[in-house]
Chains A and B, each alone.
Chain A
């Protein structure tokens, strides 16, 4: 892609000693790669605690009746599970970790546009996370509203809602600042020759995501302030007993929270778009179509929020309009899948763990997407609304989409980030176990939902037991797979010997520099002369 391959003798970002050493060096760093890793380690901590909560909930559902927790504990647990996984893992997710680490490298820059703001974003993320966690242990107990904080219940419950929404409010600022930083970086810091139409597609998805973060997140911030004002001052925005409208809350909440799904999924799609051409040894099929579809997803995704509200009492006209718009967003999503498969067609495919993660992503994302059409249709949504079907659908999209891409990206870029290569065979076995466990865990929920099992209940009638048992066993298998994957990766860190700079024979700029990258990535800013996937 660039004219020269760059090797130099400067210390790499892991060894570099600045003004401060050790932990203080990490906590005061403005290096985008170190900040990416700060996000990575904090996010993995939250993700694993969310996994433990999920396992506990699945164990509670192994059989009818109370197993290990009562209703109130279960309500608190699914709220915290949702808050942790949504606000602390999948929303910042791929963009904060891999966007921070690789965006400047992919466009031939030495850092992001505002390095200090970047570090401030991480601090805001940590402060927000601490406030969310504190909300669990102070006042009148953990919030029991679910992560959506629906009014009027969130206005009436005695649990600690104000602290939780304050935490989410702070997390929103972190997201806004990261989005702003990425947009400015792409506008101002691309290397010579790196025109917009030569940018790697992961960058394009970060660009679309940045705009959503910038435009949608303030709405949830204001909405949470309104919830606080309502609870503390009784103003009457959402409480119908004092003239408010609870459906207005749902509008405002989903105006952000549906585009937030695209904040999660767009960078994930970007990762898959990077992986597939590298392992198919072929230029990406339909570069421009993928850019347009990314932007179309970001744009149309803005106007589909009402499909979360089909049973809320919204007007009939709005319902069919939102249903129609929801079906429209399937078009750019499908374009991406067609482009990925067309890229693989007649490619010289090199089957490696990142490629297998990408294939697994497409498989589970398709199931999530098709089940989305069921909940996006007015008639069928009435039947499955608030059932286990919806839980299965969004786990296939959010975990199956973002989660699979997150781990796919980790396996793809791990040799670049740490200059170590993991055990390929163990990585493949881990993925296989994880994949089986994932499907066994979530697929029975489609059946349970269709049969009428409601979500958010700690107990159920005996007819739902066999599928719930299967789902719980699936959660254990998935946990085993996850353990294999993470142990394999952490063992690789301790291995002696260095991975080669370009183990996958990639063509984008990150593979042209040394592993791990130096502090400033490039000794001299490269001049870009070709497109990003030049496999001719």
Chain B
């Protein structure tokens, strides 16, 4: 419907994203050697979320697209979170 607009991400940004992802992967591995109890899983999930976010924003261009795509993606995440909450509601009260 609208004119196509292509945003070109510079090689410098791509390399920076790649470096960030490598660093986060190294942290994921290193953090397993620290005894955090149940927080080990939480830490792994936080790092994984950060990595996914970087990929989504830069590699998948969410940052440069029209706001509607960010809204759509946000709604999807909201539904996913709601599904998780409703599922674990059962475990909480069982």
Contacts and interface: CB of A to CB of B under 8 A. Distances in A.
B76 A215 contact: yes
B85 to A, nearest CB: 10
B57 interface: no
Nearest to A211: B76
Contacts of B92: 315
Nearest to A195: B1
B94 A315 contact: yes
A72 interface: no
Interface string A376-399: 000000000000000000000000
A251 B87 contact: yes
Interface string A295-322: 0000100110010000001111110010
Contact of A315 (B79, B80, B82, B90): B90
Given A190-B1, A302-B83, A303-B82, A318 B76 contact: no
Most A C-beta atoms less than 10 A away, residue of B80, B87, B89, B90: B90
B1 A188 contact: yes
Contacts of A255: 83, 87
Interface residues of A, number: 19
B90 A247 contact: yes
B39 interface: no
A516 B89 CA distance: 53
B86 interface: yes
A306 B85 CA distance: 13
Interface residues of B, number: 14
Contact of B89 (A188, A190, A215, A317): A317
Interface string B67-94: 0000000001001101100110111111
Contact of B90 (A187, A303, A314): A314
A348 B68 CA distance: 42
A317 B93 CA distance: 7
Contacts of B79: 215, 299, 302
Interface in A183-211: 187-190
Contacts of A313: 94
Contacts of A190: 1
A189 B1 CA distance: 6
A318 B94 CA distance: 9
Interface string A306-344: 100000011111100100000000000000000000000
B83 A318 contact: no
A449 B6 CA distance: 60
A295 B92 CA distance: 30
Given A188-B1, A190-B1, A302-B83, A251 B90 contact: yes
Interface of B: 1, 76, 79-80, 82-83, 86-87, 89-94
4 tightest Cβ-Cβ pairs between the two chains A and B = A315-B93, A317-B93, A315-B94, A318-B90
Interface of A: 187-190, 215, 247, 251, 255, 299, 302-303, 306, 313-318, 321
25 contacts: A187-B1, A189-B1, A190-B1, A215-B76, A215-B79, A215-B80, A247-B90, A251-B87, A251-B90, A255-B83, A255-B87, A299-B79, A302-B79, A303-B82, A303-B83, A303-B86, A306-B86, A306-B90, A314-B90, A314-B94, A315-B92, A315-B94, A316-B93, A318-B90, A321-B86
